[in-house]
Amino acid sequence: MAALKGPSGAAEESGIPRILVVGGGYVGMYTALRLQRRLKHDEAEIVVVEPQPYMTYQPFLPEAAAGSISPRHVVVPLRRVLDRCTLVIGEARRIDHGKRVATLTTLATEEEGSVALELPYDHLVLAPGSVSRTLPIPGLAEHGIGFKTVEEAIGLRNHVLEQLDIASSTRDVEVRDAALTFVFVGGGYAGVEALGELEDMARYAVRYYHNVEADDLRWILVEATDRILPEVGEEMGRYAIRELRGRNVDIRLNTRLESCENRVAALDDGSRVPTRTLVWTAGVKPHPVLSRTDLPLGGRGRIECTADLRIAGTEGAWSAGDAAAVPDLTSDDPGALCAPNAQHALRQARVLADNIVASLRGEPLTDYRHAYAGSVASLGLHKGVAQVYGRKLKGYPAWFMHRAYHLSRMPTFNRKARILAEWVLSGLFKREIVSLGSLENPRAEFELAAETGRKPDAP
């Protein structure tokens, strides 16, 4: 295995300490961005390792799926934002902090057929985020659709619109009913917001179908506990249930998915629901790379951290966000941990970067301390719920606050301006209801032409 060098040579050769940031999500991008702003060129070399060349702002995925925002505008290009960092498009496979070495694979190593690269470092920021938490449910791997990436969001939008096309063009009652039935598993932010936005979009789209009515659509939300959206409080959670049920959404509380084989969702309440759409949003789990390190893990597989965001029992290793178990100093419970959400991740990144700078300069470190401000959630266009600093909002005010808050947190003025412009235009013009599912297989038409001699533009 070879040692990877940055554009100006290896850090150990130049004598400049190397800061390795594993992950380009909320924590990774914002930490690297603050480091490059605060550090001088000769103070440290910053290397960011991330499988994708962009950061996805996940709170806007439901609106991207519904067509309110262009997919390009919910992602932030890392090369443009982190212009003073070395960006490696790859994945950390193993981390040996005892040796201060990370083992990486990149697109180039796959093309070359080599095994991996070894990247030495002086400081490590471990922020790979989380992945969808799946269960060994029969049929889930084959038929489930996730909702954590921009690719999944756009794929789900295309899929929903394609189901309307299928239902409109078939005379088979069973096929039609399965196409018009949409099952979402998980009553947290991702599941509720995705269902709310897509139900809005589909309800609008069916007005252009001569033989599909809004009442033909069947939406089912399956939640294993006795409430949805626990982050916004019990009262607002009950309001969200009333709002969704008022739109004919079938909400099944205290219910679990047992199987989804043969395109039939079998629930533990005994019901069997034929469906061509099963969206899985039942939680997340820490990234698998955490189990391939020599760093201490907590009970739920997250990295154990101290209040100053250092990894417990180590020197030169830091973590925050979904991957980290950070003590919540604002809680009365001495064992409380910060919730793994975007609100904490953004603020932790700032403290983490400042503490690395302080460590390099021999200055004292700062503990992370931030009281939870509250939560906002969208239930579709002009509908939402919120609980912020004890104040409860619902309907249009909550929806407006949801948009305003997340627009303010969207990185770069460029992205803010583009999203705001799209919102203004969407208020002036009709929704786009075109499915571009063919984008997922762009060579299909060419392959057909090559095999049959048919021209791509022939009827």
Give the tens place of pLDDT for each residue, 334-359.
Answer: 888 988 888 888 899 999 999 999 99
351 or 441, higher pLDDT:
351
Q: How confident is the model at residue 387 (pLDDT cuts 50, 70, 90)?
A: confident
Average pLDDT, the chain: 89
What six digits make up the tokens of 374?
């509250």
What six digits make up the tokens of 459?
């009827």
Residue 175: per-residue pLDDT = 95
Distance, in Å, from the CA atom of 315 to the CA atom of 100, rounded to the nearest integer, reads 10
283 or 151, higher pLDDT:
151
Helices (H) and strands (E) in the chain, counts: 14, 25
Above 70 in pLDDT, residue 4? no
Q: Range(s) for CATH 3.50.50.60 in the chain?
A: 18-132+285-361, 150-282
Pairing mode of beta strands 45-50, 18-22: parallel
Comparing C-alpha atoms, which of 15, 66, 12 is closest to residue 423? 66
Above 80 in pLDDT, residue 295? yes
Above 60 in pLDDT, residue 6? no
252-258 long-range Cβ contacts below 8 angstroms, 24+ apart: 252/220, 252/221, 252/222, 252/223, 253/187, 253/223, 253/225, 253/226, 253/227, 253/228, 254/223, 254/224, 254/225, 254/226, 255/222, 255/223, 255/224, 256/222, 256/224, 257/137, 257/140, 257/185, 257/222, 258/137
134-156 tens-digit pLDDT: 889 999 999 999 999 999 999 99
Count the alpha carbons within 13 Å of 238 in the hemisphere toward its beta carbon: 3
Distance, in Å, from the CA atom of 73 to the CA atom of 56, rounded to the nearest integer, reads 9
Distance, in Å, from the CA atom of 287 to the CA atom of 67, rounded to the nearest integer, reads 29
Above 80 in pLDDT, residue 392? yes
Q: Tell me if residue 90 falls in helix, strand or coil.
A: strand
Above 90 in pLDDT, residue 173? yes
For the domain made up of 150-282, give the CATH fold: FAD/NAD(P)-binding domain (3.50.50)
DSSP letters for 13-61? HHT--EEEEE--SHHHHHHHHHHHHHS-TTT-EEEEEESSSEEE-GGGH
Look-up of token digits 């659509």? 217
Above 90 in pLDDT, residue 234? no
Task: Name the CATH superfamily housing domain 18-132+285-361.
Answer: FAD/NAD(P)-binding domain (3.50.50.60)
Residue pair 384/392 in contact (Cβ under 8 Å)? The answer is: no
Write the Ramachandran bin of 77: left for phi over 0, alpha for psi from -120 to 50, otherwise beta. beta
Distance, in Å, from the CA atom of 223 to the CA atom of 401, rounded to the nearest integer, reads 26
Above 60 in pLDDT, residue 322? yes
Rounded mean pLDDT, 395-406: 92
**Is the overall model pTM greater than 0.85, yes or no?**
yes
Rounded mean pLDDT, 205-221: 94
Dihedrals φ, ψ of 222, to 5°?
A: -110, 125
**Least reliable range by pLDDT among 13-17, 94-98, 296-300:** 13-17
Rounded mean pLDDT, 293-301: 89
